[in-house]
A and B are shown apart, each in its own frame.
Chain A
């Protein structure tokens, strides 16, 4: 009788451990999903303006109509032509590391 009670106790214990493990697994999967959704953010697009004589440059936020090679004014230093030299995004696309 004592032996049977012990056997049942072990069975209950195994079930309890399995339930706890299942709970831990479910919570960890939920947390991982939450972390995944945090990786994406809106990138900031920068327009780099440069003087053709290479003595002046500035970075500003991209505005519609900008394109590389567009003349945007005169250089405040030498009076040369200011053109858009580059347009690029900062932040945004973050690659997710594979979970090991």
Chain B
């Protein structure tokens, strides 16, 4: 090899390294490359989102067709994009719960009226399951639209930070959307879901007792456990509904003139990554994942008469909460059942206790 030509090669390599270093440190080219990489990654994920959304639509249309609905596609298309809720004014907090509750009631009534119009002759519990399935399809459509909005905004403004954030969040968002897509099967077949842990516990507490209507889609049962009078509240099953446990509890406490020794709320709770599914924990407060009206109803009823308020939660992941109840969660319900019985036994004999099973009662009578 000639020494002169090889030293030229080294000079060339050195020059290239300097040029590369300049480009990397003093231009926007690396960011542009990252933008291109993130955009290409997000584009692939958005295709996946579109596939999930069209699959959900297809399955939902099939399901509605099986319920003998003549225009299932129309039912789905008219539902998605509509029935949003504008939150009430919060810079003036007076009456905000009353206003929010009113808006939620109006939205619920509108959705039920929509279902009545299109689902003539469909049984109540199947109608409720179909409404939840429509809500899932609508939620997936909204998420897809928001993702596309931020993607286009990022590209339009060359905002590589926005695209990077979106790209980093995409796997988690896809995972959650996939869980919602799978959850449709539970509502189509009417199997209990993880979130139904509270209502299932109530079913075990009251056996085959008949429920009495207390609020919209919400019933209460009376039973006696070891000499203590137990009133149990849950949503009316087996259709997919969460009922109005707060309103029902307020009514029941008033009915009993505040003569209640203890209120126990039971609900599913999202677990931390290090916790096991089906773990049971006990604490104080209203165990309910609610936007406001129902939770405050429970707290107000307890505070008005100074009734101790206990919370028993069954831990699970988001996937488990919205899909068919897993064996681990079911075993958690049995553990929570024993825990609730222990709390009831701590109350003096002859007293009254109210147990509220919070959650979606799909698949549980």
Contact = CB atoms under 8 A, between A and B. Distances in A.
A34 B118 CA distance: 44
A30 interface: no
Given A5-B1, A67-B237, A45 B190 contact: no
Contacts of B245: none
Contacts of A31: none
Contact of B329 (A66, A88, A92): A88
A52 B326 CA distance: 23
A70 B365 contact: yes
A43 B6 contact: no
A54 B31 CA distance: 68
A93 B323 contact: yes
Interface stretch (B36-44, B146-154, B160-168, B200-208): B200-208
A89 interface: yes
A88 B365 contact: no
A67 to B, nearest CB: 4
A29 interface: no
B365 A93 contact: no
Contacts of A8: 1, 6
B3 A89 contact: no
A1 B6 CA distance: 10
Interface in B112-160: none
A52 B363 contact: no
Q: Bin the interface of chain A by size.
A: 20 to 34
B324 interface: yes
Contacts of B363: 66-68, 87
Nearest to A88: B330
Contacts of A86: 200, 330
Interface in B90-116: none
Given A52-B208, A68-B200, A95-B317, A89 B327 contact: yes
Contact of B192 (A4, A5, A87): A87
A69 B208 CA distance: 7
Residue from A8, A68, A90 having most chain B Cβ neighbours under 10 A: A68
A65 B208 contact: no
A84 B238 CA distance: 12
Contacts of A83: 208
B319 interface: yes
A81 interface: yes
23 contacts: A1-B3, A8-B1, A43-B326, A45-B189, A45-B191, A65-B190, A67-B192, A67-B363, A67-B365, A68-B192, A68-B203, A68-B237, A70-B238, A83-B208, A86-B330, A87-B191, A87-B192, A89-B191, A89-B325, A89-B326, A90-B326, A93-B320, A93-B326
Interface of B: 1, 3, 6, 189-192, 200, 203, 207-208, 237-238, 317, 319-320, 323-327, 329-330, 363-365
Given A52-B207, A87-B363, 7 more contacts: A52-B208, A66-B190, A67-B192, A81-B208, A86-B330, A88-B192, A90-B326
